[in-house]
Structures are given as C-alpha cells and as structure tokens.
Amino acid sequence: MSDAMFEAHDISPRVGTRITISKADLTSGKYAGDIEELLKTRSALVFKELFLEDEEQLAFANTIGTVTLLGDDGVSKISLDPTVSDTADYTRGAFFWHIDGANDVYPAKATMLTAKTLSEWGGDTLIANTYAAYDDLPDADKELLSTLKVRHALEASQRMVHPDPSYAELQRWRTRPSQTHPLVWHHADSGLKSLVLGATAYYVHDMSREDSDALLCRVQEWATQDRFVYRHKWNVGDLLVWDNTGTMHRADTYSLESKRLMHRTTLEGEEALG
C-alpha cells in the first residue's frame, strides 16, 4: 500500500508492517482507516524514528480508538525504575508473553509504545500473531481447543516473577480482577479466530492441573514459533503499535537496573471475548 505520503511495506510474511508517514498526516487521522485495516491484518505496525511527543501520540491514538486514561492524560511511563513508574515491579511480568487486559471483560484494542530511552542490551519487543497461529493449527487441535475455557489472573503472571510470594503479596494480587475466557476467541466483527494465552492464563477449567499446564505450554510454544513472531529492535523515537486482540507480546530480557523508558498509550477494548 503506497501513495506519495503513505507507504506500507510488510516486514515478514505473517506479521509486521513498516509504515512511512509524516507526523501531520498521522495525527490528523488522514490515513486512520488504512492504519486500522493494517493493524487487523498485520498485527504489528512500525513507524521508525518518528519522535512523537506525548500530545502527538495521544492525537494519533484518538484517530483509531478511544484512549484508556492512565494518570492525567493517557500516556504512562513504562520503566523498571520505581522512581519513574509506580508499577515498576509489575512491569517485570512483561518479560513473559501476555495480552494487555486479559484479566478484563474487554481486553485492550491496541497498545502503542514510543521509545524514549533504550537499554544497553536486550529490550527488543516481540509480537506473536495469534490469528496466524490459530489458522495453522492441525484440525485435531482446533477441535480440542474449541470449547475450552481458561481462567486468567494477575496472580498467574506475578508468580513467574515472584514464585514464593508473601501472604500480603498474594492477597494484593487477588484484589485485581480475574476472568474466564475461551481459549479460542471467535471475533464477532471479522469472523476470525485467535488464541487467548499468555502469562495470565492460570488454568484450563474442567482439566487436571497437570494436563492444563501441559496443554497451555504446548499451545503457547506453537503460537510463538518464529514464523508467527515479529521482533522489534528499537531505535530511540520509534513508535510500535500492535493489535492486542489477536496477538501476544513480551519484552526481551534486559537489565533490571536499566533506565529503559517507553511511553505507552492503550486503546479501550471494543469486543468481549466470545
């Protein structure tokens, strides 16, 4: 897709597209329809070294959805430094595959990050296309997964970071919402299907814990094969946007002492899992 002011080039066959566009055209919404369509079909969109200010990021976000208000304006600082972010400890869970808002009735529509400060090593962001992963499943697995329900909870992801929590930590995790979702999301608007997995997936209902753990491990391993994954190697100023309804994502490991800083905006979910 290309015209004089808008160019889109696929990075790999199954996931990821690089878009070239001016700030003015991006924030005006001139190409919002094209961007939304690419977001659905390509899962991850890259805008190299765009250097958006927070107000520009919000202006763009409002052209493709409704911004989730975080703090005062809808832009949150993602950092492992507790002096920068009051959710720094929870951010360590981002090293594991996850879906934003998987503990909610309406998972986030999309998430976007602008890179402000990079880590000295590591810190790539990986996006797995779970539409493509579902499409390529063997028919026997599609039938097996079609009726399964999975409990999603913050506790599941935080136990990966803190496997031996205090009772107070456990109680704090359990104050956050948890949800039961189908393992296969039947999207009402498109008719497509995607997999709902990640670190919040605690257990499969009506299945032994041993069988549940094995199944979730096997399906997530399938969904995160290289052919379904885009790995973004950051430059300062890059903007990365992904369709949260048909992907999982994670940050590649980097130093816990790193000053890596991303400015994040999230779009409100528009469809309950069904």
What type of residue sits at position 58?
A: L
Cα–Cα distance between 35 and 64 in angstroms, integer? 8
Q: Say yes or no to pLDDT of 84 above 60.
A: yes
In a domain, 272, yes or no: no
pLDDT score recorded for residue 2: 53
pLDDT in tens, 126-176: 999 999 999 999 999 999 999 999 999 999 999 998 999 999 999 999 998
In a domain, 1, yes or no: no
In a domain, 273, yes or no: no
Which residue in 85, 129, 74 sits closest to 268, CA to CA? Answer: 74
pLDDT score recorded for residue 88: 77
Q: Say yes or no to pLDDT of 3 above 80.
A: no
In a domain, 23, yes or no: yes
Domain that holds residue 262: 6-267
Task: Report the percentage of the chain scoring pLDDT > 70.
Answer: 98
pLDDT in tens, 20-39: 999 999 999 999 999 999 99
Two tokens at 177?
A: 């919402």
Which residue in 216, 271, 265 sits closest to 98, CA to CA? Answer: 216
pLDDT score recorded for residue 41: 94
pLDDT score recorded for residue 5: 85
- Which residues does residue 266 pair with via DSSP β-bridges, in sequence order? 111
Total number of domains constituting the chain: 1
In a domain, 154, yes or no: yes
In a domain, 221, yes or no: yes
CATH code at position 173: 3.60.130.10
Q: Answer whether 180's CB lies under 8 Å from 151's CB.
A: yes
Percent of the chain that is helix, strand, coil (3-state, to 5)? 30, 25, 45
pLDDT score recorded for residue 73: 84
pLDDT in tens, 231-258: 999 999 999 999 999 999 999 999 999 9
pLDDT in tens, 42-68: 999 999 999 999 999 999 999 999 999
Phi/psi at 180 (nearest 5 deg)? Answer: -105, 125
In a domain, 45, yes or no: yes
Q: Say yes or no to pLDDT of 91 above 90.
A: no
Which residue in 170, 167, 147 sits closest to 158, CA to CA? Answer: 170
70-98: average pLDDT = 85
Angle between helices 54-64 and 32-42 (to 10 degrees): 80
Q: Say yes or no to pLDDT of 4 above 70.
A: no
Based on the number of CB atoms within 10 Å of its own CB, is 2 exposed (0-12), middle (13-18) or buried (19 or more)?
exposed
pLDDT score recorded for residue 177: 87
Q: Say yes or no to pLDDT of 15 above 60.
A: yes
In a domain, 10, yes or no: yes
Alpha-carbon distances of 239 from 49, 52, 247, 265, rounded to whole Å: 7, 8, 17, 11
pLDDT in tens, 98-137: 999 898 889 999 999 999 999 999 999 999 999 999 999 9
pLDDT in tens, 189-214: 889 999 999 999 999 999 999 999 99
